[in-house]
Amino acid sequence: MIIRYFAWVREKVGVDEEQLVLPDSIQTVGDLTAYLATIDDNHAAAFAEADTIRAAINQEHVDADTPIAEAQEIAFFPPMTGG
Protein backbone atom coordinates (compact mmCIF):
# COMPACT_ATOMS: atom_id res chain seq x y z
CA MET A 1 0.00 0.00 0.00
CA ILE A 2 1.26 3.48 -0.83
CA ILE A 3 1.12 6.00 2.00
CA ARG A 4 1.52 9.66 1.01
CA TYR A 5 2.21 12.59 3.31
CA PHE A 6 1.54 16.29 2.70
CA ALA A 7 2.51 19.64 4.27
CA TRP A 8 3.74 19.48 7.89
CA VAL A 9 2.92 15.76 8.12
CA ARG A 10 5.46 15.17 5.32
CA GLU A 11 7.98 17.44 7.03
CA LYS A 12 7.74 15.53 10.31
CA VAL A 13 7.78 12.05 8.74
CA GLY A 14 10.66 13.05 6.46
CA VAL A 15 9.42 11.50 3.20
CA ASP A 16 6.75 12.27 0.60
CA GLU A 17 5.55 8.70 0.40
CA GLU A 18 6.39 5.17 1.34
CA GLN A 19 5.16 1.73 0.45
CA LEU A 20 4.27 -0.43 3.43
CA VAL A 21 3.11 -3.97 3.97
CA LEU A 22 0.72 -3.68 6.88
CA PRO A 23 -0.06 -6.26 9.56
CA ASP A 24 -3.46 -7.93 9.14
CA SER A 25 -4.61 -6.25 12.35
CA ILE A 26 -4.68 -2.86 10.60
CA GLN A 27 -8.27 -2.59 9.41
CA THR A 28 -9.19 1.13 9.53
CA VAL A 29 -7.62 4.53 9.00
CA GLY A 30 -7.51 4.92 12.79
CA ASP A 31 -5.66 1.61 13.13
CA LEU A 32 -3.21 2.80 10.49
CA THR A 33 -2.47 6.13 12.18
CA ALA A 34 -1.86 4.32 15.48
CA TYR A 35 0.46 1.88 13.70
CA LEU A 36 2.35 4.62 11.85
CA ALA A 37 3.04 6.38 15.16
CA THR A 38 5.02 3.29 16.26
CA ILE A 39 7.38 3.12 13.26
CA ASP A 40 10.00 5.60 14.47
CA ASP A 41 10.43 8.96 16.20
CA ASN A 42 9.58 10.94 13.03
CA HIS A 43 6.29 9.10 12.52
CA ALA A 44 5.53 9.37 16.24
CA ALA A 45 5.95 13.15 16.05
CA ALA A 46 3.77 13.40 12.94
CA PHE A 47 0.96 11.30 14.40
CA ALA A 48 1.17 12.47 18.02
CA GLU A 49 -2.16 14.23 17.58
CA ALA A 50 -3.69 11.91 15.00
CA ASP A 51 -7.18 13.35 15.50
CA THR A 52 -6.02 16.59 13.83
CA ILE A 53 -4.75 14.85 10.71
CA ARG A 54 -7.06 14.32 7.74
CA ALA A 55 -6.95 11.24 5.52
CA ALA A 56 -7.96 10.30 2.01
CA ILE A 57 -8.27 6.85 0.49
CA ASN A 58 -7.80 6.73 -3.27
CA GLN A 59 -8.18 10.53 -3.28
CA GLU A 60 -11.49 10.62 -1.36
CA HIS A 61 -11.67 12.14 2.12
CA VAL A 62 -12.48 9.58 4.83
CA ASP A 63 -12.93 9.29 8.59
CA ALA A 64 -10.80 7.36 11.07
CA ASP A 65 -13.28 4.48 11.19
CA THR A 66 -13.17 3.91 7.41
CA PRO A 67 -11.93 0.44 6.41
CA ILE A 68 -8.71 0.39 4.37
CA ALA A 69 -9.09 -3.04 2.75
CA GLU A 70 -9.72 -1.64 -0.75
CA ALA A 71 -7.16 1.16 -0.51
CA GLN A 72 -4.42 1.43 -3.09
CA GLU A 73 -3.26 4.78 -1.70
CA ILE A 74 -3.82 6.55 1.59
CA ALA A 75 -2.83 10.17 2.01
CA PHE A 76 -2.41 12.11 5.26
CA PHE A 77 -2.48 15.89 5.53
CA PRO A 78 -3.25 18.62 8.04
CA PRO A 79 -6.68 20.26 8.18
CA MET A 80 -7.28 22.79 5.47
CA THR A 81 -8.68 26.24 6.00
CA GLY A 82 -10.76 28.18 3.55
CA GLY A 83 -10.40 31.76 2.59
pLDDT (tens digit, 9 = 90+) per residue, 19-65? 999 999 999 999 999 999 999 999 999 999 898 999 999 999 999 99
Local structure of 23: helix, strand or coil: coil
pTM for the whole structure: 0.92
Give CA–CA dist 65/61, Å, rounded. Answer: 12
Please give the mean pLDDT across all residues of the chain: 94
The hierarchical CATH code for the domain 2-77 is 3.10.20.30
Query: Do residues 67 and 28 make contact, with C-beta atoms less than 8 angstroms apart?
Result: yes
**So what's the pLDDT on residue 62?**
97
